Amino acid sequence: MPLSLHNTLTRRLEPFQPLAPPRVTLYTCGPTVWNYAHIGNFRTFLFEDLLRRYLELSGYDVFHVMNLTDVDDRTIKAAAAAGKRLEEHTAPFVAAFFADCDYLRIRKAHVYPRATQSVPAMVRLVQRLLDTGVAYRGEDGSVYFAITKFPNYGRLSQLDRREIKVGARVASDEYAKDDPRDFALWKKAEPIDEQVGAAWDAPFGRGRPGWHLECSAMSLDQIGQCCRVETLDIHAGGVDLIFPHHEDEIAQSEAATGKPFARYWLHGEFLNVGGTKMSKRFGNFLTARDLREQGVDAAAVRLLFWQTHYRQPLDFNDDALAGAQEAAKRLGEFHERVRFVGSGPTRARGRGTLAQLAQRLQADFRAALDDDLNAPRACGALFEFMRSANRELDREAAGSEDAQRAQAALAEVMSVLDVLPTPKQLDSGLVAWVEERIAARDKARKAKDFKEADRIRAELKARGVEIEDTPSGTKWRVV
């Protein structure tokens, strides 16, 4: 079965067909860098990481664009409150975002256009909309989009067009849900904008871009430079962006180009705490750096998020996180066990059962993700494989070739899920102690002092060191 994705635009599951395979253009709405991103934001970024990784595993050549919103109402207010210029205020939050992405193992986008560095593209887009007659200058000096001149307005969010307030305008970046009014494309410069360095000259007046305009201009500019197209294959983000942000992106982009803005719209659900959306507004947020400082391995966070489908709300709590940490630990131990057997001397080929289980894992894993990125089902296949494979290894029925097949299957799964614990750096003192103990045990065995050899094995096991005697010598690993 081909990859199928739930398209918010049509509200149905559709086979994925990019415009020019194998190339896929992917745009994901990035952070607004007025503060640290919380893990609710990262739930969206991780679902997009899952999408990106699986597209690449499926053979697509993905061009991934993620913007950084470094000028909007919130960044300007925060910079002014801190008594800083805009760039000075946002810089540490940009750096923190990239550090958090590295911690959570999120693959880097190919480009990260910043709003403040993309103003010329935004000015061109506003002028294009003015020239086509769907934008106009208001008496307040700002430029607005006339939504009554775009008949398809409301299609993504399924707004009732009868509720549109003809002639009413909204200047703020974020406005009430289901409140469709002409929105600001370009805002006249105010004293606070000039104070923080968030004002630019334009043919239609000195000012700054509206938030919705920024993403349209940056995405169209990037895919135009890269791929010479004006339609994205996939646009993804959180459900809270459907209206007004993505609805307004569609309107201004399609009014300018006359072409579909994006073929597939994917939206991830909220991360909740006690049933309430995690939000700085509600004061119930936790950042990625909080988890990192608590010693939570990224594998556990990723595994926790994969256990709920991206289109379903996820409730975050300590018990769920602890369960994910334990599960990730067991996966790490299993992976080491398979690697240990696979790197050993060639033994009897065994019954081939482990190789068959590995083949089934790969098939079930791909079938799950082909079905609208069903990560919970993919995780289920992984844990079922671990249980069945451990039984085979317990019976010592698997040869090294079987284990190598299992390793290859695990590598494929982990290239997407990436839920193995971060390898611990072995202390040089531990390594020296283990090697000394193994040498002492070898000496005891040669002297036929098997009681002493068994005692040393038990001593190693007590420190979490597992050993295996092979024709080429004793191998060891920390479990």
Torsion angle of alpha carbons 58, 59, 63, 66, nearest 10°? 20
β-pair partners for 268: 238
Q: Among all chains, which residue has been given the structure tokens 């089934």?
A: 360
- Let me know: does 72 contact 211? Beta carbons within 8 Å: yes
Q: Above 60 in pLDDT, residue 349? A: no
pTM recorded for the entire structure: 0.88
What percent of the chain is predicted at pLDDT more than 90? 77
C-beta of residue 76 within 8 angstroms of C-beta of residue 193: yes
> 405: closest CA among 439, 344, 464, 362?
362
Question: Measured over all CA atoms, what is the biggest interatomic distance in the chain, rounded to whole angstroms?
Answer: 98
Predicted local confidence at residue 274, as pLDDT: 72
Q: Which amino acid is at 410?
A: L
CB atoms within 10 A of CB 444: 18
Bridge-based pairing of strands 61-66 and 135-137 is unpaired
Tens of pLDDT, residues 126-173: 999 999 999 999 999 999 999 999 999 999 999 876 677 767 888 888
For the chain, list the domains and their CATH numbers.
18-288 (3.40.50.620), 301-414 (no CATH), 428-478 (no CATH)
Non-local CB neighbours of 146 within 8 Å, separated by 6+ positions: 134, 135, 136, 182
The 8-class DSSP code of residue 104 comes to T
User: Has residue 1 got a pLDDT over 60?
Assistant: yes
Which residue bears the tokens 């590295």? 102
Per the structure block, which two tokens stand in for 337? 């066990």
**C-alpha closest to that of 299 among 325, 318, 337:** 325
Where does the pLDDT of residue 348 fall: very low under 50, low under 70, confident under 90, or very high at 90 and above? very low
Quote the pLDDT of residue 282.
61
Which pLDDT score is estimated for 115? 97
Structure tokens at 53: 């990784």
| Residue 302 clears pLDDT 70, i.e. is over it | yes
- Give the residue among 38, 58, 470 at the shortest CA–CA distance from 288: 38
Contacting residues for 119 by C-beta, under 8 A, at least 6 apart: 200, 209
Do the Cβ atoms of 245 and 157 come closer than 8 Å?
A: no
| pLDDT tens-digit readout, 416-457 | 999 999 987 666 788 889 889 999 999 999 999 999 999 999
Q: Is the pLDDT of residue 379 over 50?
A: yes
- DSSP states of 418-475 as a string? --SPPPPPPPHHHHHHHHHHHHHHHHHHHTT-HHHHHHHHHHHHHTTEEEEEETTEEE
Q: Quick check: 386 and 358 in contact, CB under 8 A? A: no
**Does position 471 have pLDDT exceeding 70, yes or no?**
no
Pair of tokens at residue 359: 């083949």
pLDDT for the residue 351: 62
Residue among 432, 435, 433, 455 at smallest CA distance from 444: 455
Look at phi and psi of residue 372 and say left if phi exceeds 0, alpha if psi is from -120 to 50, else beta: left
Beta strands 169-170 and 182-188, pairing class: parallel
Question: What number of other Cβ atoms are within 10 A of residue 119's Cβ?
Answer: 18
pLDDT digits (tens, 9 = 90+) for 180-218: 789 999 999 999 999 999 999 999 999 999 999 999 999
Long-range own/partner contacts, residues 323-329 (CB < 8 A, 24 or more apart): 324/300, 325/296, 325/297, 325/300, 327/300, 327/303, 327/383, 328/297, 328/299, 328/300, 328/303, 328/419, 328/420, 328/421, 329/421
pLDDT band at residue 284 using 50, 70 and 90 as cut-offs = low
Query: Is the peptide bond preceding residue 191 cis, with omega within 30 degrees of 0?
Result: no
Residue 395 Cα distances to 341, 351, 399, angstroms: 13, 11, 11
Rounded Cα distance, 170 and 174, in Å: 9
